[in-house]
Amino acid sequence: MSQDLGTTKHGTTDVPVEELFLKRWSPRAFAERSVENEDLRKIFSAGQWAFSSYNEQPWRFVVGRKGDSVWTKIFDSLTPPNQSWAKSAPVLYASFARKTYSHSNSPNRAAAHDVGAASAQIVLQATALGLYAHGMGGFDPEKLRSELNVPDDFEVGFCWALGYRGDPETLNEQQKQMELQPRHRKPLSAWVFGEWETPAF
Ligand SMILES: Cc1cc2nc3c(=O)[nH]c(=O)nc-3n(C[C@H](O)[C@H](O)[C@H](O)COP(=O)(O)O)c2cc1C
C-alpha cells in the first residue's frame, strides 16, 4: 500500500480518549479476505448490549456474505457509485428499526436513535477485531424492503459494508483520493454548548 493509512486516518483529540474511537474510519477498499462467522457473532453481540428506549431493542440487522443471496440483494439496492467499491466487501448488512413499541404499539420516537446506538457498538467491536465498516445511505430503501420481505412496521435504516482493509490502488481516482486523505471533525466548541451556541468548554 502506498501510504500508512493507519496514521493518516487516525482521529485526533485535544484530550486522550479510548484508542478504538480514533482508529475507526470508513474505507472503500476492502480485501478479498472473508470474515469468520465467530467474529461476525462477536460484532453483533456488541450491538446486543446497546441502550434503547424502554429496552425495546428496535434494531434488526440482515447480514449477507459475498456469494449468498442476501449479499446480492443488498448489493443490488446500492447506487452505482457505492456498488463500484462495495463490490469487494465480503459482508454487506442492512439495519432496520421497529417503528412502534411492542408493549403499547405506540410510535417509538427513539427507534432510529437506538438503531444508531447499536450500529455504533457493532462498528466499534469490528474495529477492535481489526475489521472496518462503511455505512451507506446511497441505496433504494423500497427495493431493499421488498427484496428482503421487511414488514411495514419496520423503517429501513442503512446499508453497511464490512471487511478487512484492502489496497487503495483498486479504487477509481476519486475514491482513491478520498481513501488517502486525512479525516476532519468540527471542534467541540461548534456542538457542545453551555448555553445554546456558546461553547461548554
Ligand atoms: C448513515 C450513513 C450513510 C452514509 N452514506 C454513505 C454513502 O452512501 N456512500 C459513501 O461512500 N459513504 C457514506 N457514508 C460514510 C460517511 O461519508 C463517513 O462516515 C463520513 O464521511 C465520516 O468519515 P469516517 O467514517 O471515515 O470518519 C455514510 C455514513 C453513514 C453513517
Sheet holding 59-65, edge to edge: 59-65, 91-98, 154-163, 132-136
**Rounded to the nearest whole angstrom, what is the distance from the C-alpha of residue 171 to the centroid of ligand 1?**
16
Mean pLDDT over 21-49 rounds to 98
Give the model's pLDDT for residue 149.
98
Gap between the Cα atoms of 42 and 36, Å rounded = 10
**Rounded to the nearest whole angstrom, what is the distance from the C-alpha of residue 170 to the centroid of ligand 1?**
19
Mean pLDDT over 121-145 rounds to 98
Does 175 sit in the ligand 1 pocket, CB within 6 Å?
A: no
Give the model's pLDDT for residue 3.
57
Task: Give the helix ranges, DSSP H, for the chain.
Answer: 5-8, 19-23, 37-48, 69-77, 80-86, 111-128, 141-147, 173-180
Task: Name the nearest CA neighbour of 25 among 9, 7, 13, 47.
Answer: 9
Gap between the Cα atoms of 148 and 145, Å rounded = 5
Give the model's pLDDT for residue 1.
44
- pLDDT (tens digit per residue) in 68-125: 999 999 999 999 999 999 999 999 999 999 999 999 999 999 999 999 999 999 999 9
Structural domains in the chain, CATH included, are 5-190 (3.40.109.10)
Which pLDDT band holds residue 129 (cuts at 50, 70, 90)?
A: very high
Position 6 pLDDT exceeds 90: no
- Given a contact cutoff of 8 angstroms between Cβ atoms, the answer to whether 167 and 27 are in contact is no
Which atom of ligand 1 is nearest the CA belonging to 28? Answer: 11
Gap between the Cα atoms of 13 and 19, Å rounded = 11
Which pLDDT band holds residue 65 (cuts at 50, 70, 90)?
A: very high
Which atom of ligand 1 is nearest the CA belonging to 138? Answer: 8
Tell me how far apart the terminal alpha carbons of the chain are, to the nearest angstrom: 40
Ligand 1 atom 6 nearest Cα: 136
Ligand 1 pocket test: which of 136, 178, 185 has the largest number of ligand atoms within 8 Å of its C-beta? 136
Position 2 pLDDT exceeds 60: no
Does 183 sit in the ligand 1 pocket, CB within 6 Å?
A: yes
Mean pLDDT over 3-23 rounds to 93
Give the model's pLDDT for residue 152.
98
Does 94 sit in the ligand 1 pocket, CB within 6 Å?
A: no
Does 158 sit in the ligand 1 pocket, CB within 6 Å?
A: yes
- Given a contact cutoff of 8 angstroms between Cβ atoms, the answer to whether 34 and 92 are in contact is no
Contacts with 10 (C-beta within 8 Å, 6 or more apart), sequence order: 22, 23
Does 182 sit in the ligand 1 pocket, CB within 6 Å?
A: no
Mean pLDDT over 7-26 rounds to 97
Mean pLDDT over 152-171 rounds to 98
- pLDDT (tens digit per residue) in 177-196: 999 999 999 999 999 999 99
Which atom of ligand 1 is nearest the CA belonging to 139? Answer: 8
